[in-house]
């Protein structure tokens, strides 16, 4: 069983990874669908969806790493 933080169970890293990958896959599908409606071409829509989500994932990772350096709002 995972350790607890403030009485809340902590999820396993594998679970967090699977949740993240499933969410990103869902976001690729949503982005491709929206792009397809806008541009009307499946190939272009797929390219837009993949590139946009790679950029968003990298941006979010960088954002999280920056927040790791900020101690504001963390308990000691």
- For the chain, 76 residues long, give each residue's pLDDT as a single digit of tens: 555 556 667 788 899 889 988 999 999 999 999 999 999 999 999 999 999 999 998 999 999 999 889 898 888 6
Beta strands in 14-61 (DSSP E): none
What pTM value is reported for the model? 0.69
Give domain status of residue 23, yes or no: yes
Count of the separate structural domains present in the chain: 1
Residue 36 belongs to domain spanning? 10-68
CB 11 within 8 A of CB 2: yes
Give domain status of residue 2, yes or no: no
Give domain status of residue 74, yes or no: no
Give domain status of residue 3, yes or no: no
């Amino acid at each position: 069983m995972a350790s607890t933080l403030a009485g809340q169970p902590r999820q396993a890293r594998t679970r967090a990874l699977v949740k993240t990958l499933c969410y990103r896959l869902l976001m690729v599908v949503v982005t491709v669908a929206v792009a397809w409606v806008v541009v009307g071409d499946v190939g272009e829509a797929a390219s837009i969806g993949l590139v946009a989500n790679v950029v968003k994932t990298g941006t979010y990772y960088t954002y999280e790493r920056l927040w790791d350096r900020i101690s504001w709002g963390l308990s000691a």
